[in-house]
Chain A
Amino acid sequence: MAAKGDMVYAWTTSPDIASVAECGGAVTGLLKYALENKIVDAVLAVKKGVDLYDAVPTIITDPAELSETAGSLHCGTLLLSKLVKKYLGGAEDMRLAVTVKGCDAMGLYELAKRNQVNLDNLLMIGVNCGGSVSPVTARKMIREKFGVDPDDVVKEEIDKGQFIIVTKDGQHKGISMDELEDEGYGRRSNCRRCKMKVPRQADLACGNWGVIGDKAGKATFVEVCSEKGADLLSRAAKAGAIATEPANPKGIEIRGKVENAMLKLGDKWRGRYFEGLGEGKERLQKMMEDASRCIKCYACIENCPICYCEECSTKKPYLVPPGVLPVPFMFHLIRFAHVADSCVNCGQCEENCPMEIANSLYMHALQTDMERMFGHTPGVDMELPVLALVEEQAERQRLSATGSDQIFDVFK
């Protein structure tokens, strides 16, 4: 019987899954077991679209289709959290297994705090993530730095500090991520700053870091992070859907070292990005200048896993006069005020911004400042945020009843 805190090597016993999956296929094996045995009603995962630069979220109810989601894609820049709220009713009426990167898991916790998703109905299979690369950047990088036609690439991976591609004629080529990123290629800026590499707030945290010895490349390292995760692993193992063995102690150590190296790299990038922003008025000036290109398309708000209000304050004419250009900075101030303490640095506000405003950098910079001030870390557990409005309708009623304009009573 697996228990919370256990660390095991796991692999699928199905030859079909093993042939399409990576690193032993434990994730696909576990998802298939959960779906086949009605532990969940559906699986939300990511599959390949037109090519390997195109990651497409997909809902699967037929276990036979799960192999479409096997393997990893690093050029998808998706966040699954808000899809659960927007398109799956917050998993209120269905039990859903979701594969989650750190940002997906953090986004789901923040949505749960706001009663927008039901965590009880979610089975989160965490996957380690060293970062993702925007499709356009990835293709440009492969053409310009690797000298390879991006359409000839059949597999990409990020391993041991390198971005590695495999071409259709079987050639492997790797270039150090540091070199690529110093030249403006490589991972998205929020991924560089990310420090949620092993999503332990999921039910299981899976990955290939720390799989050594004869199981290297043939098993998945699984850390059991909850009772729910332990139950799934035990049942799947007992039924023979997956096989497990205790993780090699040396492997556990190596995994820790990889994680630590990634965290240090995250700190380095935070330093670089935040210092580049300057402090105080200088920082504000930079933000205002960049935000002056805003065309009010609402992509940042639509895609933010923190934004959930029915009645968005940015649409109040007395706060943000409609039809005015450049868009009044109050539009962005409202986002900062409502999101900053809970920002999980998922990068969606920047990824989806058609004006390429560095939205995620500004919000993340504010979040880290607030974390230092108030000691609240978003996305890791169910602790409520410091400032953000949690029950929108109740809060609006209170404001209207009391005549107060103090949304957040921080001085109480």
Chain B
Amino acid sequence: MEPPGDAKEDWQIFVDLAHKLGLQGFDFNSPEDIWNDVRRVTPSMSGISYARMEKPESVHWPCPSEDHPGTPILHREKFASADGLGHFFGLEHRPPAEVADTEYPFTLMTGRLLFHYHTRTQTGRAELLHHEVPAGYVQINSEDAARLKIQNGEKIKLTSRRGEVETIAKVTDEVAPGVLMMTMHFGDAAANMLTNTALDPLSKMPELKHSAVKVEKITGVQ
């Protein structure tokens, strides 16, 4: 796609920036140049040339050389272990760093929607995708909503030990009682104001999918 107006393509901006910073190794003239550089330093991609990618069946990595057929399905014959077998092992259950309690009785999960990508810097500009889901919301089970007298479409307040967010309640049976679901796409319903910062000890992945929150009606407005 041609960049709009006077804009440069992203790769040109990076190349120009690198030159301004006096960095070596950025003498690229095309996206293909850059890709070939990626191939040079990434053995699993080195067989994936532009010419091969032009073919309708394309190439799947790992593809270590030009004459390698590519690998559409990983680990089909054997796993990458010493004996080539997959190994099962037991794990002790360890509860999430924060679980629901009497003060914060709901478990908040976060996730994505089909219609948006991350913080919508791209998908938020697409008219059609914006039409599909224009704003953030929280899904709440119909039993919980009935108990708390929350109507579908009502603005409610969610609070965790880290912060609070006001957003629209979507009453549904797609989530179980006691569970709330928010997406990570919307700044005006920023789920990560609520999520926990605890990290997985091994992968250091933050525990964004599980945090304890409470739900309150917003009174005096509406």
A2 CB → nearest B CB, Å: 41
What residues on A are CB-neighbors of B128 within 8 Å?
A: 298, 315
> Interface readout for B128-148 with A: 1 if CB under 8 Å, 0 if not?
100111100000000000000
Interface stretch of the complex, out of A90-98, A132-140, A254-262 = A132-140
> Interface readout for A43-65 with B: 1 if CB under 8 Å, 0 if not?
00000001101100000000000
Determine if A295 and B114 form an interchain contact, defined as CB atoms under 8 angstroms apart.
yes
What residues on A are CB-neighbors of B131 within 8 Å?
A: 315, 322
B54: contacting residue among A50, A298, A322, A325, CB under 8 A: A50
- The CA of A68 and the CA of B73, in the complex, are separated in Å by 39
Indicate if B186 sits at the interface (CB-CB under 8 A): no
Q: Which of B106-136 contact A (CB under 8 A)?
A: 113-115, 128, 131-134
> Interface readout for A282-319 with B: 1 if CB under 8 Å, 0 if not?
00000000000001101000000000000000010000
Known: A295-B114, A298-B128. A322 touches B133 (CB 8 A): yes
Decide if the interface of chain A is mainly helix, strand, loop or mixed: loop
Indicate if B204 sits at the interface (CB-CB under 8 A): no
Indicate if B84 sits at the interface (CB-CB under 8 A): no
What residues on A are CB-neighbors of B132 within 8 Å?
A: 296, 322-323
Determine if B133 and A53 form an interchain contact, defined as CB atoms under 8 angstroms apart.
no
What residues on B are CB-neighbors of A53 within 8 Å?
A: 55-56
Q: Which of A309-348 contact B (CB under 8 A)?
A: 315, 322-323, 325
User: Looking across the interface, which residue of chain A has its beta carbon closest to that of B54?
Assistant: A50
B175 CB → nearest A CB, Å: 14
What residues on B are CB-neighbors of A50 within 8 Å?
A: 51, 54-55
The count of chain A contact residues (Cβ–Cβ below 8 Å) is: 16
- The CA of A139 and the CA of B56, in the complex, are separated in Å by 8
User: Looking across the interface, which residue of chain B has its beta carbon closest to that of A315?
Assistant: B131
Indicate if B57 sits at the interface (CB-CB under 8 A): yes
Question: Which residue, of B51, B57, B133, has the highest number of chain A Cβ atoms within 10 A?
Answer: B57
- The CA of A266 and the CA of B36, in the complex, are separated in Å by 47
Q: Which of B157-208 contact A (CB under 8 A)?
A: none
- The CA of A10 and the CA of B54, in the complex, are separated in Å by 37
- The CA of A322 and the CA of B113, in the complex, are separated in Å by 12
Determine if B113 and A139 form an interchain contact, defined as CB atoms under 8 angstroms apart.
no
- The CA of A53 and the CA of B55, in the complex, are separated in Å by 9
User: Looking across the interface, which residue of chain B has its beta carbon closest to that of A150?
Assistant: B55
A17 CB → nearest B CB, Å: 28
What residues on A are CB-neighbors of B114 within 8 Å?
A: 295, 325
Decide if the interface of chain B is mainly helix, strand, loop or mixed: loop
A140 CB → nearest B CB, Å: 7
B130 CB → nearest A CB, Å: 9
A397 CB → nearest B CB, Å: 23
User: Looking across the interface, which residue of chain B has its beta carbon closest to that of A298?
Assistant: B128
User: Looking across the interface, which residue of chain B has its beta carbon closest to that of A323?
Assistant: B133
What residues on A are CB-neighbors of B113 within 8 Å?
A: 323
B79 CB → nearest A CB, Å: 28
A267 CB → nearest B CB, Å: 31
What residues on B are CB-neighbors of A136 within 8 Å?
A: 56-57
What residues on B are CB-neighbors of A51 within 8 Å?
A: 54-55
- The CA of A135 and the CA of B58, in the complex, are separated in Å by 12
User: Looking across the interface, which residue of chain B has its beta carbon closest to that of A321?
Assistant: B132
Question: Which residue, of A295, A298, A315, A323, has the highest number of chain B Cβ atoms within 10 A?
Answer: A323
- The CA of A219 and the CA of B137, in the complex, are separated in Å by 67
Determine if B115 and A139 form an interchain contact, defined as CB atoms under 8 angstroms apart.
no
Q: Which of B58-112 contact A (CB under 8 A)?
A: none
B8 CB → nearest A CB, Å: 26
> Interface readout for A204-219 with B: 1 if CB under 8 Å, 0 if not?
0000000000000000
What residues on B are CB-neighbors of A135 within 8 Å?
A: 56
A311 CB → nearest B CB, Å: 13
Known: A296-B132, A298-B128, A315-B131. A323 touches B115 (CB 8 A): yes
B204 CB → nearest A CB, Å: 32
What residues on B are CB-neighbors of A296 within 8 Å?
A: 132
A123 CB → nearest B CB, Å: 31
- The CA of A160 and the CA of B100, in the complex, are separated in Å by 72
What residues on B are CB-neighbors of A322 within 8 Å?
A: 131-134
What residues on B are CB-neighbors of A140 within 8 Å?
A: 57
- The CA of A212 and the CA of B133, in the complex, are separated in Å by 62
Determine if A139 and B55 form an interchain contact, defined as CB atoms under 8 angstroms apart.
yes
What residues on A are CB-neighbors of B57 within 8 Å?
A: 136, 139-140
- The CA of A296 and the CA of B113, in the complex, are separated in Å by 13
What residues on B are CB-neighbors of A295 within 8 Å?
A: 114
- The CA of A296 and the CA of B133, in the complex, are separated in Å by 13
User: Looking across the interface, which residue of chain A has its beta carbon closest to that of B130?
Assistant: A322
What residues on A are CB-neighbors of B55 within 8 Å?
A: 50-51, 53, 139, 151
User: Looking across the interface, which residue of chain A has its beta carbon closest to that of B127?
Assistant: A315
| Given A51-B54, A296-B132, A323-B113; 14 other pairs, CB 8 A cutoff | A50-B51, A51-B55, A54-B54, A136-B56, A139-B55, A139-B56, A139-B57, A140-B57, A151-B55, A295-B114, A322-B131, A322-B132, A323-B115, A323-B132
Closest 9 CB pairs of A and B: A135-B56, A323-B133, A50-B54, A136-B56, A322-B132, A323-B132, A322-B131, A136-B57, A139-B57
Q: Taking beta carbons and an 8 Å cutoff, which residues of A are in contact with B?
A: 50-51, 53-54, 135-136, 139-140, 151, 295-296, 298, 315, 322-323, 325
29 contacts between A and B (CB under 8 A): A50-B51, A50-B54, A50-B55, A51-B54, A53-B55, A53-B56, A54-B54, A54-B56, A135-B56, A136-B56, A136-B57, A139-B55, A139-B56, A139-B57, A140-B57, A151-B55, A295-B114, A296-B132, A298-B128, A315-B128, A315-B131, A322-B131, A322-B133, A322-B134, A323-B113, A323-B115, A323-B132, A323-B133, A325-B114
